[in-house]
Amino acid sequence: MSARRNILKSLKKLVEESPADQTEALLLTEDSALTRFTPGSIHQNVAERNQTLFLRAAMGKQVALVTTNILEPSSLQSTREKAVSLARFLPSNPDFVSLPRPKAIARVKTFHENIRRLNPGKKVKAAQEMMSLAKEKGASLSGSFSHGMVEVAVLNSLGVEAYQHYSDLCLHVIAQNDLGSGYASFVSRDPDELQIESLAQSALSKLSAARPVEIPPGEYEVLLEPEAVHEFLGFMGYLGFHALAVQEGRSFLGNHFGEKLLDEKVTIYDDGLDPRGLQVPFDFEGMPKQKVVFFDNGVVGNITYDSLTAGRDQKESTGHALMPPGTEGPIPVNLFMQEGASSLEEMVRGIKKGLYVTRFHYTNAVEPMKAVITGMTRDGTFWIEGGEVSYPVKNLRFTESVLKALSRVKAISRDRKICTPGSVYGRRFITGTVAPALQIEGFSFSGVSSL
């Protein structure tokens, strides 16, 4: 608690003594470690600790942002002077109304002390245990194991004062043999939830003793595991669920608010306070996270806002400001798809002929306004026939509208999984998407991989 008080005290003084009309200070402290391993060795053990101050100063509608990781008192004053000076000379931003005013923030636990016990030796031991399990099955295992501690503090001259301490770990593994590969992942804020053996077995279960068969491109019924669904939800959030995309006329939601676009079984929302995900109580402007429902039983609902986009629409922020400069808009990062009533086994039994997909990669947008994306299957693609997983198939390229696919949902799994991207690049702030598995009646594959 003393560290928290010292951080807030120092930022408060910086803000209160600012000559700008409005001032905001965001301090991000990152303590991040990464271990990577291949079948032959632990080939990388790196760690980094950094503190970054983002200082925003507003003179009327002239707003400047300055960033520094030199935090001595004299440097902080210099940074503030630079921000104020820049604000005086920058052109006005007609959309800027004000920095946000304080609101009550929910108290949630996002830090587990046991993260401090997760050192390089324990991570190497976990990797070696998984590689031994793979070797027993005639396979090899590679992957990345990242963990960290993050502190976020936000203060502004209107009274916002927010602080949160986070812990996180994410482990991604790929199992391989001469015929194919399998994938599994884990993410949590609590290291005690990690089950090394079950994670390795999950990746190994996707390996087959048969050589993959090539099937022609076309439209197939599919079963998508949560990792594949997570890819869909992430693109939907990035392309269309936030106010900036709507305001700029590039969101697939367009003018369809209140219309039914997806199957009635599909409900998609963002909720930073749901304990079934990776909780985040406030955004990078210190605004409390609000639950925002994008599709309610297939019907288009609401979108996310930060203070700038909210000002344009005369709305209030929903607590979705990203890390500065935040030019991509208030993209939701705590996405959920509502669970259904089926199991994976039941969905497989319901498919006469189709494909089982573990995950996608190299995914990109093709037609953002129609939510059309393309990508490849990876690490476990199988042919289903007569309600049974029959044999592995070569990876396929898909080109499909997410809206179209989610309008053809036949079943949704009752179990959901927290998914997160495979690597930690840039600044550390781990978030997760909670996704079920989906059975979709028709899904378009446009090509076949040579691999």
Instruction: For residue 43, count other CB atoms closer than 10 A to its CB.
Output: 10
Residue 266 falls inside a structural domain:
yes
Q: Is residue 267 part of a domain?
A: yes
Share of the chain above pLDDT 70, in %: 98
Rounded CA separation 222/352 (Å): 10
pLDDT in tens, 104-154: 999 999 999 999 999 989 999 999 999 999 999 999 999 999 999 999 999
Structure confidence at residue 3 as a pLDDT band (50, 70, 90): low
Q: Is 287 exposed, middle or buried (0-12, 13-18, 19+ CB in 10 A)?
A: buried
In a domain, 65, yes or no: yes
As a whole number of angstroms, the distance between CA 328 and CA 322 comes to 8
Q: Is the pLDDT of residue 26 over 70?
A: yes
Cβ count near 323 (within 10 Å) = 15
Q: What is the predicted pLDDT for the residue at 443?
A: 95
- The pLDDT tens digits of the residues spanning 413-447 come to 999 999 998 556 667 888 999 999 999 999 999 99
* One domain, residues 281 and 149: no
pLDDT at 422: 58
Q: How far apart are CA 169 and CA 163, in angstroms?
A: 20
Residue 155's pLDDT is what? Answer: 95
Looking at the fold, whether 52 and 168 belong to one and the same domain comes out as yes
Co-location of 100 and 197 in the same domain: yes
Q: Say whether pLDDT at 2 is over 80.
A: no
Residues 196 and 224 in one domain: no
For residues 230 and 151, membership in a common domain is answered with no
Q: In this structure, are 281 and 243 located in the same domain?
A: yes
Pair (70, 199) in one structural domain: yes
* Whole-Å CA distances, 217 to 222, 365, 380, 446: 13, 20, 17, 5
**pLDDT tens-digit readout, 205-262:** 999 888 999 999 999 999 999 999 999 999 999 999 999 999 999 999 988 999 999 9
Residue 24 has pLDDT above 80, yes or no: yes
pLDDT score for 23: 97
pLDDT for 334: 96
pTM of the model: 0.95
Residues 407 and 382 in one domain: yes
Q: Which residue has the tokens 């936000």?
A: 154
**Which residue in the block uniquely carries the two structure tokens 């990781």?**
69
- Determine the pLDDT at residue 209: 82
Q: What's the confidence (pLDDT) of residue 423?
A: 59
What is the predicted pLDDT for the residue at 44?
A: 86
pLDDT value for 427: 76
> Number of folded domains in the chain?
2
Look at residues 363, 417, 438, 436 and name the one whose alpha carbon lies nearest to residue 187.
417
Q: Are 423 and 378 in contact (CB under 8 A)?
A: no
Chain position carrying tokens 């002077």: 81
Q: Please report whether residue 210 resides in a domain.
A: no
Can you tell me the mean pLDDT for 383-403? 96
Which pLDDT value is given to residue 424? 62
User: In 10 A of CB 178, how many CB atoms?
Assistant: 9
Other C-beta atoms lying within 10 Å of the C-beta of residue 135: 12
Provide the residue range defining the domain that includes 315: 218-448
Is residue 68 included in any domain, yes or no? yes
- Could you tell me where the DSSP H helices lie in 17-152? 73-89, 120-136
Give the bridge partners for 64, in sequence order.
57
pLDDT of amino acid 344: 94
Mean pLDDT of 184-210: 94
For residue 386, what pLDDT is reported? 95
Q: What is the pLDDT of residues 9-21, one digit of tens each?
A: 888 889 999 999 9
Within a 10 A sphere around the Cβ of 295, how many other Cβ atoms?
A: 25
Given this model, what pLDDT does residue 451 score? 60
Distance separating alpha carbons of residues 99 and 439, to the nearest angstrom: 44
Using CA atoms, how far apart are residues 247 and 43, in angstroms rounded to an integer?
A: 46
Q: 373 with 253, same domain? A: yes
Provide the pLDDT for residue 291. 98
255 shares a domain with 125: no
- If asked whether residues 88 and 192 sit together in one domain, one would say yes
Instruction: Give the chain's radius of gyration (CA, Å).
Output: 23
pLDDT single digits (tens) 58-83: 999 999 999 999 988 888 889 999 99
Q: Which two tokens stand for residue 418?
A: 């927290």
Domain assignment present for residue 213? The answer is no
CATH number at residue 136: 3.30.2290.10
Burial (CB < 10 A; 0-12, 13-18, 19+), residue 72, is exposed
Q: Which of 152, 171, 204 is the last residue of a domain?
A: 204
Q: Which residue has the tokens 């367009």?
A: 254
Boundary of a domain, candidates 157, 178, 204: 204
Q: Is residue 337 part of a domain?
A: yes
**Residue 263 carries which side chain, given as an amino acid letter?**
D
Mean pLDDT in residue range 299-303: 97
Q: Percentage of the chain with pLDDT > 90?
A: 87
**All residues at 6 or more sequence positions from 86 whose CB lies less than 8 Å from its CB, including other chains:** 57, 64, 66
Res 60: pLDDT: 95
Task: Name the domain boundary from 142, 173, 204.
Answer: 204
Give pLDDT tens digits for 77-118. Answer: 899 999 999 999 999 999 999 999 999 999 999 999 999 999
User: Does residue 53 form part of some domain?
Assistant: yes
- Nearest C-alpha neighbor of 219 from the set 437, 345, 403, 408: 408
Mapping DSSP to helix (H, G, I), strand (E, B) and coil, where does residue 218 land? strand
Q: 382 and 297, same structural domain?
A: yes
Q: What is the pLDDT of residue 224?
A: 98
Least reliable range by pLDDT among 40-54, 294-308, 345-359, 373-387: 40-54
